[in-house]
A and B are shown apart, each in its own frame.
Chain A
C-alpha cells in the first residue's frame, strides 16, 4: 500500500514540479479553451452573399429576387450583367453563389410553360454551398407552388383541393439534436475531448520520459500513478467537459454522473497510453512533436466529423485503439444527445478494454525497463 502512495506522490510531484509539464497540462487548458473555439463563435451563417444575374428584368424576376433576399440564409447582394462578372465576384470571395434568371422568365410563366432558374453555388466551401442551396431553393419552391395553385384555381379548382394537389403531403424535417445547426455546438464538444486527450498524453508522457527509477513492485508503481492521474483529472475533466461547454453556452442534456463514468476509463486509458508512447519514443521533445502532428488525424479518425461509414474498415480498426475514438462518441452522445449509460454501454466497455490492454503493455514496459527491487538510477 505504501508503495502505491509513494508512486502516487512521485507522479504528482513529476507533474507539478516540472514547469514544462505544468505548462502543457494546466496552461494549455486556458490557452486552447480560448483559441480553439475562437473561429466558431459566430455559430451560424446568415445572409450569405449571392450574385443576381437577372436577364429578364421583369416584375416576376424582381419578385423572385425579393423572396430569395428575404430568406434568412442568403442575400442577393450584388447585381451582375453576365455570368463572367458574377463568377469573378465568387472567385474574389465576395459572394458564394450566382442566381441566374434567364431571359423570358416571366413570359414562360404567363404562358403556362416551365420557367427554369439556374443556381450556381460555391462547392469549394460546403457550409456555404448548403446555405446557398437552402436559401434559394425554399423561396423558389414556394413561388412555384403558388404559381401552380394559381393556375389550378383559374381552371376552377377549389383552393383547398388545389393545395392538396400541389403538395399532397406536408414534408417536415426535424433535426433531433443541435436544432439550430450551430457550428460551435457541432465541433466543440468533440474537440474538447480531443484536446483533453492530447494535452494529457503529452504531459504524462513527458513525466514518464523524465522520471527516474521508482521503488516497489511494478504493479504498485503503475497503480500509484493511475491514482495520481485520477486525482488530477477528477478536477480537470469536469472543467473541460462540463464547465467549459457551459461557459460557451453549448446545450447539455447529459447527467454529470454519466460523463464521469465514461471519463474514468478514458483518463486511465489515456494515461496508460502515455506510458507506452513515452517508452516508444524515449525523448520528450520527439513525443511532443509526434503528438502535435497526430491531433488532427485522430480527430478525423474518431468518426465524429467525418462519418465512420466513409472510413475504410482497416483504418477504423486502428482508430479503435485510440481512446478518443470511443470517448468522443460516448461523451458527445451523453452530453449533447442525452444518452444514458446503458445506451452507450458498448463505448464504456470499449474504454475499459483499452485500460486493461494498455495496463498490460505498461506493466511489461515497467518490468522490462526497471525490474522490481532493483533501484538503480536510470536517467531518461
Chain B
C-alpha cells in the first residue's frame, strides 16, 4: 500500500487523475448548480389590448420570480421567432378587446406559449405565467363579487370552494441543488474511480510490463489486489467526504438520516466502482479496451439512476441494467438518507445490494487473477 502511495506521488498523471480531476469536476458541478432554483426566464408579451388590465397583467408577470418580461412582441409570429432564436423562453398572448370582453362576460382567451423542447426552462415559464395570470384573474373575480356587494372575506371563500394546499414532500425548499448535486457527485466519481483504478493496475500488470509481478504475489493474490486498490479507496473516500462536507455543510443540504448507513454505503460504493475498473482491466489486459468497457457502463449511468426520468417508469430491462450499476443504489441511498429520512429497514436494502455487487465483482477479479497467475507459472 505504501508503495502505491509513493507511486501516486511520483506519477503526475496518476495524481492528476485521482486527485486534481475529481476536485475540478466537483467544483465545476457545484458552481453550475449553486443558484439552486433557476429564476428570471425571459418572456415576451404580445399585448394587443393595451388596456389598464393588460398592463396590470404584464406587471404581474414581471413580478413572478420565475419569469422576467424581457420585451414586447408586436405579433404572435414575432414572438415565435424570438422563442426560436432563444431570445426568450415563452410568450403570453393578450388578445384585442380583452378588458372589454371580460366585462361583457364573453370569456376571452389568454394564451401562454412556452418552449417545451428546453423542458426545465419551459415548465418554469409555464408555472410562473400560470401563477401570475391566476392571481390576476382571482383579483378580477374578487372585484366583480365585491362590486355585487359581497363582503371581501365571503368573496374569497366563494371564489375558491376547494382550495388546494400543496406541499413538497422531502424537499420543502424545492431546491435542485439538494438532489442533483447529491447525485451528480457520485456519478462523476464513479467514472473517475473506475477509470483511475484500471489505469493504476495497468501500470503494474499491463502487457509487457513486469508479468513476474503476478508470480511474485506468492503470499496471495488477495493481499496484492487489496494493496493495489485500497489506497485509491482512501483517496476517493476523502474526496467524497470533503464534497459531502461542502454539500451538507456549506450548501446546507439537509442530512436527516443515518450517518453510519451513509458511510457504509459510501465505502461499498467506492469499492464496487473500483472493482468495475479492476475487472475491466484484468479481463482485457489492455487499458484501451478496459476504458471502453468502463465508458459503456459508467458514462450513461446517470440516466439509469432515474433522477430525470424515474426508474419505476422505465422498461424492466432498463431497470435491471440500472440495478447492476453501483451508482444507482448509492444515489438512492443518499437521497433516502439525506432528503427523505427513509426508515432504515427500507433503506438498508440499497446497502445490501451494493454489498452484493462488491462481492460478485471481487470474486470475478480474484478468479481471473488466480487463473492469470497459473498461466504465468505454467509458462516459467
Contacts and interface: CB of A to CB of B under 8 A. Distances in A.
Contact of B199 (A130, A206, A289): A289
B33 interface: yes
Contacts of A156: none
A27 B313 CA distance: 29
Interface stretch (A3-11, A116-124, A222-230): A116-124
Contacts of B218: none
Contact of B117 (A64, A171, A186): A186
Contacts of A364: none
Contact of B141 (A112, A165, A283): A165
B140 interface: yes
Interface stretch (B263-271, B333-341, B368-376): B333-341
Contacts of A172: 109-112
Contact of B21 (A88, A181, A293): A293
A315 B31 contact: yes
Contact of A176 (B115, B295, B308, B309): B115
A176 B162 contact: no
A113 B160 CA distance: 9
B188 A297 contact: yes
A166 B155 CA distance: 12
Contact of A164 (B86, B107, B145, B167): B107
A292 B161 contact: no
A61 to B, nearest CB: 11
Contact of B309 (A40, A98, A140): A40
Given A121-B168, A309-B40, A40 B114 contact: no
A156 to B, nearest CB: 12
B161 A118 contact: no
Interface residues of B, number: 122
A20 interface: yes
A296 B199 contact: no
Contacts of A283: 13
Interface in A161-181: 161, 163-179, 181
Interface residues of A, number: 115
Contacts of A117: 162-165
Interface of A is mostly: helix
A310 B34 CA distance: 8
Given A23-B288, A176-B83, A38 B318 contact: yes
Nearest to A143: B162
A337 interface: yes
Interface of A: 20, 23-24, 27-28, 31-32, 35-36, 38-42, 45, 64, 87-88, 90-93, 96-98, 109, 112-130, 133, 136-137, 140-141, 143-144, 147-148, 151, 160-161, 163-179, 181, 183, 185-187, 189, 206, 281, 283-286, 288-290, 292-297, 300-301, 304-307, 309-312, 315, 329, 332-333, 336-339, 343-344
29 contacts: A20-B289, A20-B292, A32-B296, A35-B296, A38-B303, A38-B315, A40-B314, A42-B315, A92-B346, A93-B312, A116-B162, A116-B165, A117-B165, A120-B169, A123-B174, A124-B179, A143-B162, A147-B161, A168-B107, A168-B137, A169-B110, A169-B133, A171-B109, A176-B83, A177-B115, A177-B117, A187-B303, A310-B39, A343-B84
Interface of B: 13, 16-17, 21-22, 25, 28-29, 31-35, 37-42, 80-81, 83-86, 89, 98, 102, 105-124, 126, 130, 133-134, 137, 140-141, 144-145, 157-172, 174, 176, 178-179, 184, 187-188, 191-192, 195-196, 199, 202, 287-289, 291-292, 294-296, 298-300, 302-304, 306-315, 317-318, 321-322, 335-336, 339-343, 346
Please provide the 5 A-B residue pairs with the shortest distance between their CB atoms, ordered closest to farther.
Answer: A164-B105, A175-B116, A310-B38, A123-B171, A123-B168
Given A124-B178, A170-B108, 15 more contacts: A28-B292, A42-B309, A91-B341, A117-B162, A122-B170, A166-B159, A168-B137, A171-B137, A175-B114, A293-B22, A300-B33, A301-B28, A305-B120, A309-B39, A315-B32
